[in-house]
Amino acid sequence: MSWTISNPHADLVVLSVLPELRGRGIGTMLIDAVHTQLRNLDIHDLAITVITTNTNAQRLYERNGAVPYTTIMLQQVSETGD
């Protein structure tokens, strides 16, 4: 799928719910609040950063309409050149 990101667009880097409060709809309420603010600012696209292994967060975002878009791969480079 090809996608053009609006300019401006928003970047969601951190959205966190305490482990003991998860599963109560708080994440969805927070995302709804983000969407409300973005609509008020006339911003139409939201890029969301989520760690690959955080499948619970991925499911939350997907339930709220997010789709995978890019993959960023990280690699540690040794200080000694090994």
The pLDDT assigned to 1 comes to 54
CATH of the domain at 28: 3.40.630.30
Sequence-ordered list of residues with C-beta below 8 angstroms from that of 14, at least 6 positions apart, any chain? none
Quote the CA–CA distance of 4 and 10 in Å, as a whole number.
13
Higher per-residue pLDDT: 10 or 72 = 10
79, pLDDT greater than 60: yes
pTM score, two decimals?
0.78
CB 78, CB 40: distance < 8 Å? no
The pLDDT assigned to 32 comes to 96
User: Could you tell me the residue range of the domain that residue 78 belongs to?
Assistant: 1-82
Quote the CA–CA distance of 11 and 67 in Å, as a whole number.
14
Sequence-ordered list of residues with C-beta below 8 angstroms from that of 46, at least 6 positions apart, any chain? 9, 10, 11, 12, 34, 35, 38, 66
pLDDT digits (tens, 9 = 90+) for 59-71: 999 999 999 888 8
Token pair for 10: 């928003």
pLDDT digits (tens, 9 = 90+) for 8-60: 889 999 999 999 999 999 999 999 999 999 999 999 999 999 999 999 999 99
Total domains, the chain: 1
